[in-house]
Amino acid sequence: MKIVSLLILAFLACKNPRCQELRVTTSFESGSARVLGIDNATQTIRIIPAGDPKRGMPNWWNLRIDSINSNKPVFLEVLSSGELVQGGPSGNLRKLPPDWTWPDRAAYSTDGKIWKHTPAGIREGNYMRYRIEPGSSTLWIAWGPPFTPTDAAAFIQHLTQKHPFMKAFTLAQSREGRNVPALKISEGSKPDLQRPAIWVQARQHAWEVGGSWVAVGLAEWLAGEDKEAVWLRRYADIYIIPLMDVDHVATGDGGKHALPHDHNRDWAPTPHWPEVAASQQYIRRLAEEGRMNIFLDLHNPAPGNKVQTMYVLDKTYMGKEAFPRQERFIELLKEEFGKIKQHRNGPKPSVATPEELVSEAWVLENANPNTIGFCIETPWNAPKSTTAGYRAVGESLGRVMGKLLYTL
């Protein structure tokens, strides 16, 4: 213990008495990091994620550094938490693998708004080391480009003020009293009851920030003048919820495997999370009107997955008209993305399992005979896992949905 204390003191010591003292803060929305040491002379900061394992996988980190010497590089060393977390539906505890905490490239910003990739990090022992040339006295560094409840509300407000065919609404109020911002897109005089409905939601797992940016890209495309986007918003009603798990995002927690269970394991008759219950109510109403058509749940996959991925339920989960539409949707995805990865579920079990509590299974069982639904996972650990790259995926998903509906 004495040796460890001395090492920490040595790491904290500034070798140059005139060097600037870096200041690190996480006291902002979605901030999360526990500082283990600061070397002011080399501008090196060592952290560990600060998320509560009871509130999900503690792999998310997000911090701001002030008083930087902008002429020198900043080094961030990230240790994996090593915390025990629930291991999926079984609830067994397991140690969180470090790859979930160490993106190949971190995200950084000099204004907290525009995010770029760092160069590839370097693994050294039990930590990942990122180097950033700041060019600024203040720097934000995060696991990925953050998208907070405040960002969601501001984004939706911006769109609705600019485009009259976009309407803001509040899906629900969370257990901790936060609003869940949502957006409805519908243009023209065609009555709602004659429009097929599309429901797109993101971030049932708080740390999977790429899902929010994909939803942003979809909404931006639908707001534009691309003829396919104009046709789709005039033909259908599109609902977009860019951030479901507002509480765990706001507090900088991981969300996935949170207690008593995360949002994507909550699609039961009496959900724990108010935003899940509200989504069910909306989708049931759309199904009662006979127009619940497409459901997409946006996620990020495991660290090693580098291609666009989807979870596909067996035809035993869906109405008789849905299966050919599902297969057509997959073909259109292949045309749009090239290579995609499919996880095909087996037939629906006779005895209820945790798999039946996920969102797409619930939707297919409670919607219309032609309703299709997918979990869509966009890679987060690749060179294109940027705000621009995620947005491009959202646009592509919009084109696929438009082509599916246009060819019917």
Per-residue pLDDT of 255-274, as tens digits, reads 999 999 999 999 999 999 99
Q: Which of 137, 287, 126 is nearest to 199 (CA)?
A: 287
* C-alpha span between 370 and 375 (Å, rounded): 17
Domain count within the chain? 2
Enumerate the H helices of 163-209 as residue ranges.
none
Instruction: Check which CATH number belongs to the domain holding 275 and give it.
Output: 3.40.630.10
36 shares its domain with 183? no
**Residues counted in the chain:** 408
pLDDT tens for residues 220-248?
A: 999 999 999 999 999 999 999 999 999 99
Instruction: Check which CATH number belongs to the domain holding 11 and give it.
Output: 2.60.40.3120
**Distance set, CA 52 to CA 156, 157, 175, 256 (Å):** 30, 31, 17, 11
158 shares its domain with 135? no
The pLDDT confidence band at residue 5, using thresholds 50, 70 and 90, is very low
Domain that holds residue 93: 2-142
Residue 128 CA to chain centroid, in angstroms? Answer: 22
291 shares its domain with 386? yes
In 300-400, where do the E strands start and end?
308-312, 340-344, 372-377
142 has pLDDT over 90? yes
262 shares its domain with 288? yes
pTM exceeding the 0.95 threshold for the entire prediction: no
In 133-263, where do the E strands start and end?
139-142, 166-173, 179-185, 197-202, 237-241
Residue where one domain finishes, among candidates 98, 123, 142:
142
138 shares its domain with 175? no
181 has pLDDT over 90? yes
Q: Nearest 10 degrees: CA dihedral of 285, 293, 348, 275? A: -50
Residue where one domain finishes, among candidates 96, 125, 142:
142
The CA angle 250-53-311, to the nearest 5 degrees, is 80
340 shares its domain with 211? yes
Residue where one domain finishes, among candidates 123, 142, 161:
142
35 shares its domain with 76? yes
Q: Which of 185, 149, 144 is nearest to 60 (CA)?
A: 144
138 shares its domain with 224? no
What residue has token string 């930087």? 68
Give the mean pLDDT of the chain: 92
231 shares its domain with 185? yes
66 shares its domain with 215? no
246 shares its domain with 323? yes
DSSP string, 258-276: -SS--GGG--SSS-SSHHH
77 shares its domain with 153? no
The pLDDT confidence band at residue 83, using thresholds 50, 70 and 90, is confident
